[in-house]
Amino acid sequence: MTQSAPPLQPGTLYLVATPIGNLEDITLRAVRTLRECDVVAAEDTRHSGQLLKHLGIQKPMISYFRFNEAKRSEEIIDRLKSGQKVALVTDAGSPGISDPGERVVRAAIENGLRVESVPGACALVAGLTASGLPAGGFYFAGFLPSKSGQRMKRLGLLLRLAETVVLYESPYRIEKLLTEMSLLAPTRKVVLARELTKKFEEYLRGTAAELEALLVKRSIKGEFVVLIHGAEDEPETYYGDEAEEPAPQV
């Protein structure tokens, strides 16, 4: 027996997950939300406009990104207060996961407005579940700091955790990350998940030192999810200066 889906509620901010590569990875609920909303708030209107065109959807769009999120948050809140249904999307994946969106969500909650998640594709989950590393508990650290000193300190703390650590990294800094890991924990098991859901999706598995050597021999493009096995008995490993460990996120 088929039940009709409930209509979208006025004054609600819908956080709509979009494909991270393969356009088939969008849910029926996400498509319906995009069709029935009043406006789409997008990280990049050109990028999201292509997705809407692919889905045969025409909607008014406004842009929000890192440098205008504060101003746009006010506009989105005004729209919600007037009863509009706003779908918030990023270029790929779930809004707020290493992408803009947190400020808008906080503002909506502070104003007593309704926020609803429309779950779907997420590189973090896709990479972790196929990595082969323990997934019962994990720590998601997003992107590491860009400055070398801060990166090494942060990485040193993360390598102390017993849980699998998940990072995002760009193709421009992946070799640097593996070099840093080889200095701190050369024998630690690492999985590089590259170009997830796309044509050239690939999983590279080995120790930090082995993967560093591999990347010297071949050119690797694409965005990476980096998965690091939790700490084990590694007496030879140096983890940097003593500091308080970050609390695990699960």
Is residue 181 domain-shared with residue 208, that is, in the same domain?
A: yes
Domain membership of residue 98 (yes or no) is yes
Boundary of a domain, candidates 99, 121, 143 = 121
Is 1's pLDDT higher than 70?
Answer: no
Which residue type does 60 have? P
CA 182 to chain centre: 25
pLDDT on residue 5:
83
The total of structural domains in the chain comes to: 2
pLDDT one-digit tens code per residue, 119-154 = 999 999 999 999 999 999 999 999 999 888 999 999
Is residue 89 domain-shared with residue 146, that is, in the same domain?
A: no
**Number of other CB atoms surrounding residue 188 within 10 Å:** 20
**Number of other CB atoms surrounding residue 208 within 10 Å:** 24
- Where residue 3 falls among pLDDT bands split at 50, 70, 90? low
Is residue 139 domain-shared with residue 220, that is, in the same domain?
A: yes
Domain membership of residue 83 (yes or no) is yes
CATH number, domain of 164, equals 3.30.950.10
Is residue 129 domain-shared with residue 194, that is, in the same domain?
A: yes
CATH number, domain of 30, equals 3.40.1010.10
15 phi, psi to nearest 5 deg: -95, 105
pLDDT one-digit tens code per residue, 188-245 = 999 999 999 999 999 999 999 999 999 888 888 889 999 999 997 554 454 555 444 4
Domain membership of residue 1 (yes or no) is no
Is residue 178 domain-shared with residue 111, that is, in the same domain?
A: no
Mean pLDDT, the chain, rounded, equals 90
Domain membership of residue 106 (yes or no) is yes
Bridge partner list, 62 = 41
Q: Which domain holds residue 137?
A: 124-228
Is residue 117 domain-shared with residue 26, that is, in the same domain?
A: yes
pLDDT one-digit tens code per residue, 96-125 = 888 888 899 999 999 999 999 999 999 999
Is residue 82 domain-shared with residue 129, that is, in the same domain?
A: no
